[in-house]
Amino acid sequence: MTLTPPAGTISIAGKTVSRLGFGTMRLTGPGIWGDPADRDTALRVVRQAVHTHGITHIDTADAYGPHTAEMLVRDALYPYPDHVLIATKVGLLRPAPDVWTPHGHPAYLRASVEASLRRLGVERLELCYLHRIDRDVAIEDQLAVMQVLQDEGKIAHIGLSKVTPEDIRKVSDGLTIAAVQNVLNMTDNYDPALELCRDLNIPYVPYRPLGAGNLARTHGILAPLNWLFSLGEHVAPIPGTSNPQHLEQIVAVAAGEA
């Protein structure tokens, strides 16, 4: 059965997917650390996102848990439906809860991609973001190993996360950027990369679209999501939740049913 995607569709990494995505960061334990309190519910939320609500853009990262979210995605969805895009990210160390440390050494990035391939159970990552540019490592070295992994067939498309317009311009001179993922919401409401991505025809994936739940509590879900969707057809937010009822509310708003 083909489900109607919430809020229409967008092309990301060569695949037509739902403009409303699902972020998996909130499926882990407190501090984005360790396993969820209720693993069965976490798996159910991921399955409902795809099989009940028609969300076909699933965003994860090796840093969530770390490793927990990727394994939940595999356990919930493998074998992955052909129409679903699984995007992941590499390039952060997680030494403790709520601690995120960029680490762009080429050997680490290669090892991280290889590990994500095994956890997700695939031979190629359809979309792999550089989670953060490590400012202590030459950006050329970080991108070079990502491109080598792409040439080897282990990454299909490369994305960037938490980057400036200058980063985007510099990187786009040497490779095709499949998507940009930056924070944007009604509180953190300015990102100059938004317009540049529109000009360069790069999908813009705002993370933390509901302000880590704060905006949903103060404004509801409708206003924050509608604000993001109004910014352009290249905008594809990835709200996340570990609550099935909350997911239903998000989808209803995105589909114009609430």
| Cβ neighbours around 138 below 10 Å, total | 12
- Burial of 141 from C-beta contacts in 10 A (0-12 / 13-18 / 19+): middle
Hey, is 178 helix, strand or coil? Answer: strand
What's the CA gap between 38 and 40, in Å, rounded? 6
Residue 207 phi, psi dihedral angles, 5° rounding: -95, 160
Token pair in block for residue 45: 């939320």
Which of 64, 80, 108, 207 is labelled catalytic? 64
Q: Does the annotation mark 190 as catalytic?
A: no
d(CA 80, CA 221): 29
Q: Catalogue the active-site residues.
A: 64
